[in-house]
Amino acid sequence: MSDSGLDAIDERGALGSVPGLPGLAGRAIAQLDRLLMAVAICALVGLAATVTLQIVVRLLLPFTFSWTEELSRYLFIYMVAMSAGVVVHRRRNLSVELFHDWFGPRGQALFLIFSSAMAGAFALIVLPHAWQYASIGLWQHSPTLGFPMIYMFCSSVALFGLVALYGLIGVAEGVNALARGAPASTGRSVP
């Protein structure tokens, strides 16, 4: 995809025109975004390396590694869990954008508050159940790698915790945009 295609994707989202939080809070959120995306990218690279190793070994050697399939599954789960909050924050999650362009800056901010509050509330409702699910892993170990499964089951806690946090951040950004009454910008700078 060309750079102009990526620019078109960045500009098409009406909710992207709601400015982020200013000052120290905005910089801290940007740093958290970068950290979580770095972890997700590391998981993706590890996943690709593990799958490549699995393919090469199956094609070239008379034996296979039994742990590669399990590790690739775990890396995929953590890649999704670490990037879920950032996806919500950058408004790249699946959404129906039929009417977003009709909203003015105030309407976009109100819609951001509503959608962020709904996502955050859902995550907060599910979070205790995710922790209950994760606690099952205290006494289990992975079949081939042998590490405690609580580390894997905690990925659901991380996912819903990050979505709840970024839902709160989205509400704060929407309220800040309403309070400042600033006109819609050309979009948020993506780190």
Long-range contacts of 154-160 (CB under 8 A, 24+ apart): 155/77, 155/78, 155/81, 156/81, 156/130, 157/127, 157/130, 157/131, 158/78, 158/81, 158/82, 159/80, 159/81, 159/84, 159/85, 159/130, 160/123, 160/124, 160/126, 160/127, 160/130
Confidence of residue 43 (pLDDT cuts 50, 70, 90): very high
Give the rounded distance of the alpha carbon of 164 from its chain centre.
11
pTM of the model: 0.79
Amino acid at position 45, single letter: V
Confidence of residue 188 (pLDDT cuts 50, 70, 90): very low
Confidence of residue 13 (pLDDT cuts 50, 70, 90): low
Residues 56 and 22: their CA atoms lie apart, in Å, by 49
